[in-house]
Amino acid sequence: MLDARMTRLVTVQELRFPSGQHSLVGDLYCPVDDIAALLVINSATGVPQSYYRAFATWLAETRNIAVLTFDYAGFGRSASGPLRAVTQRMSDWALRDQPAARAEMRRRFPGLPLWVVGHSLGGLLMPMQDGLEHVDRMIAVAAGRVHFSEHPLRYQLAARLFWFGHGPALTAGFGYLPAKLAGLGGEDLPASVYWQWRRWCVDRDFYFTDPLVPEPNWPRDVPVDLVGLSDDQICPVSCVQELAPIYGDHAQVRIIDPDQHGLGPVGHMAMFARRNARLWPRIVPAL
């Protein structure tokens, strides 16, 4: 279907595609001119695909890139029942749904270069996935290995309450994580996602002790940009840097300071907000 909110330079079509036993819902943004490349946006935890609409439109308009956004299984427009019944874990979203989105783009547009922009969770487990031989470039934004003790001191109380106080209490009581009550941006999360996420962030070894997470195997010849924000309290610069060895020798860490671009706070979530569009060329360079 076409979205009337888009400009005349971009068409938007709703897609449904398989991911294991589940069906995912996404939006495909296509330039009206010839497509130069493909790009899949892997969302952050609890962030619906609609948040990336302006960024996806910009990519199609200015870069002639066909862009797929999507919601993970059991979440957003991909939900098919009550949140309490969802059993998907964070690792399912990363290891199953993200490769499924890439496979859908390859099926529709064979032979074109395929890029991935991963926001937070969207870049965290890419090196552990199947189908990496089809990825031509990876750009991870605000993604890093974060133990709760690594947050800045001013964020420590909120982090500790989220993992040891009201976070587990609310999740146990509701049968899912009510995002607003928990002080979390985004939408409510399945309990199975929260509990696995908590396990990683309270373990010094992060996800490497999780039997559901395989060993990383990033292709050596695929370039990787790890983009951090200097004012990100949720995923500090040091945590972005700790992710680089998982991607291997080709990972380049780039830190953006919003002050240097005349912007207010950007932090963990606001990189893809329309008000910060002047930063987008720093994420995806011209082809």
Identify the pLDDT of residue 232.
97
Q: In this structure, is residue 187 part of a structural domain?
A: no
Identify the pLDDT of residue 249.
82
Which has the closest alpha carbon to 129: 106, 100, 164? 100
pTM over 0.85, yes/no: yes
Q: In this structure, is residue 228 part of a structural domain?
A: yes
Q: In this structure, is residue 172 part of a structural domain?
A: no
Flag residues of the chain having pLDDT under 50: 1-5
Identify the pLDDT of residue 5.
46
Identify the pLDDT of residue 28.
98
Q: In Å, what is the CA distance from 75 to each residue of 46, 54, 187, 211, 253?
A: 8, 21, 9, 24, 30
Identify the pLDDT of residue 7.
58
**Which is it for the CA torsion 176, 102, 96, 120, positive or negative?**
negative
Which CATH number does the domain housing residue 239 bear?
3.40.50.1820
Q: In this structure, is residue 125 part of a structural domain?
A: yes
Identify the pLDDT of residue 185.
80
Q: In this structure, is residue 1 part of a structural domain?
A: no
Q: In Å, what is the CA distance from 259 to each residue of 90, 192, 231, 239, 282?
A: 33, 38, 9, 21, 14
Total domains in the fold of the chain: 1
Give 156: exposed, middle or buried? Use CB within 10 Å, 0-12, 13-18, 19+.
Answer: middle
Identify the pLDDT of residue 177.
97
Q: In this structure, is residue 209 part of a structural domain?
A: no
Give the whole-angstrom CA distance, residue 36 versus residue 113: 8
Identify the pLDDT of residue 2.
35
Q: In this structure, is residue 175 part of a structural domain?
A: no
Those residues with Cβ within 8 angstroms of residue 173's Cβ, 6 or more apart along the chain or in another chain = none
Q: In this structure, how many other beta carbons lie within 10 angstroms of the beta carbon of residue 263? A: 16
**Residues 58-108: tens digit of each pLDDT:** 999 999 999 999 999 999 999 999 999 999 999 999 999 999 999 999 999
Range of the domain at 115: 10-148+214-283
Identify the pLDDT of residue 4.
38
Q: In this structure, is residue 181 part of a structural domain?
A: no
Residue type (1 letter), 283:
I
Give the whole-angstrom CA distance, residue 18 versus residue 113: 22
**Which is it for the CA torsion 134, 140, 143, 144, positive or negative?**
positive
